[in-house]
């Protein structure tokens, strides 16, 4: 998981064997940097223990100390893989340029001459904290880009596989027809059906990929308006009359007893319900029932549920099925694109709502959609 740079509170470790000076340094700096967390140490050994516990961003340390001195502490830090990026400011009484250069050669980021002037110390520490903040932001951004690159690579690999499968079936069937169609006319209908079926599957895949890419790029136009749920659900129900008839299924709509009107993008929410019902119908046994119900949700929103009597979702897979190209292994012929639920979640979340599969069911699956009553303030393309 990529760390959040904005929520990180910087930590400054002050190392000084003179207790009064140490307290004075912390007091002066804390007044200037109220958002910084301060920790202290009286010598290099104590400081090293604090550093090893982690989370120190900037070290302000004296050089001359009993036991482990500042230069030895600095050397340990730079040799440690985890601590090597800690910003180090040395406080030293060394006055000659050669001695200062030697201290910097040890890996110090900055040096202060003792006795320190408070204004100079505050300015040096401020510059160091800015450098630390910038470095952390660069690290976070680099991690984000690396994660994005890995996801992009995996996505392209999966897409190429998903497209190649129906294309191979289409080309194989077409090749059979070209070579043997005139000699075996009885095979024409069979292989033409393969081409037709896989061509439709390829079209669905490409359309879903384009829809998903547009949504994620913020290039989809959203049209929010007060919408009657009864009308929307009735239109969706009518679009499945032929399909449920072929499968001898019952599509039961359980409407709310009073009108429910919600501000939403009618076409996009219709797409969500079509995706959910298509999945439920696909996984339902012949003669079974698929149920669609809705009811008012808090603050003028709506809660919709789609329930089927199929094999259900394996425990622990309730979130996995919303990932790209994830389909349940049911033993049935693979006919979907594995993107319907991903697109549905994008649409629902763009409305400010939630969608999930109910866990812990013994039989069948229930998908729940909760949409708020008021659309967010969106731009024409749906951007916030």
DSSP string, 162-218: HHHHHHHHHHHHHHHHHHHTTT-GGGHHHHHHHHHHHHHHHHHHHHHHHHHHHHHTT
Lowest mean per-residue pLDDT among 114-118, 121-125, 151-155: 151-155
Hey, where are the domains in the chain?
5-144, 151-216, 224-371
Residue 204 banded pLDDT, cuts 50, 70, 90: confident
CATH of domain 224-371: 3.30.565.10
Alpha-carbon distance of 209 to 204, in angstroms, equals: 9
Residue 229 banded pLDDT, cuts 50, 70, 90: very high
Taking only the tens place, the pLDDT of each residue in 292-327 is 999 998 888 999 999 999 888 888 888 888 887 666
Taking only the tens place, the pLDDT of each residue in 26-50 is 999 999 999 999 999 999 999 999 9
Query: What are the structure tokens assigned to 86, written together?
Result: 């800690």
Closest CA to 309 of 254, 366, 247: 366
Mean pLDDT value of segment 187-213:
81
Taking only the tens place, the pLDDT of each residue in 142-187 is 988 888 777 777 667 666 766 777 788 888 888 888 888 777 777 7
Give residue 158's pLDDT: 62
What's the CATH class of domain 5-144?
A: alpha beta
What's the CATH class of domain 151-216?
A: mainly alpha
pTM of the complete model beyond 0.85: no
The overall average pLDDT reported for the chain is 84
């Amino acid at each position: 998981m990529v760390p959040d740079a904005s929520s990180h509170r910087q930590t400054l470790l002050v190392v000084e064997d003179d207790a009064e000076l140490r307290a004075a340094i912390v007091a002066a700096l804390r007044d200037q940097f109220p958002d910084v967390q301060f920790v202290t140490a009286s010598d290099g050994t104590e400081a090293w223990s604090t550093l090893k516990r982690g989370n120190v961003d900037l070290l302000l340390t004296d050089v001359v100390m009993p036991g482990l001195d500042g230069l030895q502490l600095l050397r340990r830090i730079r040799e440690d893989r985890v601590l090597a990026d800690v910003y180090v400011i040395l406080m030293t009484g060394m006055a000659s340029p050669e001695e200062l250069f030697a201290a910097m050669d040890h890996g110090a980021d900055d040096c202060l001459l003792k006795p320190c002037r408070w204004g100079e110390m505050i300015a040096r520490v401020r510059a160091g904290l800015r450098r630390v903040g910038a470095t952390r932001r660069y690290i976070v951004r680099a991690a984000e880009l690396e994660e994005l690159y890995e996801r992009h690579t995996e996505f392209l690999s999966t897409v190429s596989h998903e497209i190649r499968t129906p294309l191979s079936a289409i080309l194989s069937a077409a090749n059979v027809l070209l070579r043997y169609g005139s000699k075996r006319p009885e095979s024409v209908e069979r292989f033409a059906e393969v081409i037709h079926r896989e061509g439709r599957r390829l079209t669905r895949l490409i359309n879903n990929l384009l829809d998903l890419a547009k949504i994620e790029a913020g290039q989809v136009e959203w049209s929010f308006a007060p919408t009657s749920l009864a009308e929307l659900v009735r239109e969706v129900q009518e679009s499945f009359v032929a399909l449920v008839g072929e499968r001898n299924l019952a599509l039961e709509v359980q409407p709310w007893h009073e009108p429910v009107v919600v501000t939403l993008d009618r076409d996009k929410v219709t797409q969500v319900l079509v995706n959910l019902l298509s999945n439920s119908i696909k996984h339902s046994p012949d003669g079974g029932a698929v149920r669609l119900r809705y009811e008012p949700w808090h603050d003028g929103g709506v809660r919709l549920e789609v329930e089927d009597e199929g094999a259900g979702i394996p425990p622990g897979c309730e979130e996995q099925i919303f990932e790209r190209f994830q389909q349940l292994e049911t033993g049935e012929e693979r006919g979907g694109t594995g993107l319907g639920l991903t697109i549905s979640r994008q649409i629902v979340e763009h409305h400010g709502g939630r969608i999930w599969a109910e866990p812990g069911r013994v039989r069948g699956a229930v998908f729940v959609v909760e949409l708020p009553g008021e659309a967010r303030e969106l731009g024409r393309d749906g951007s916030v």
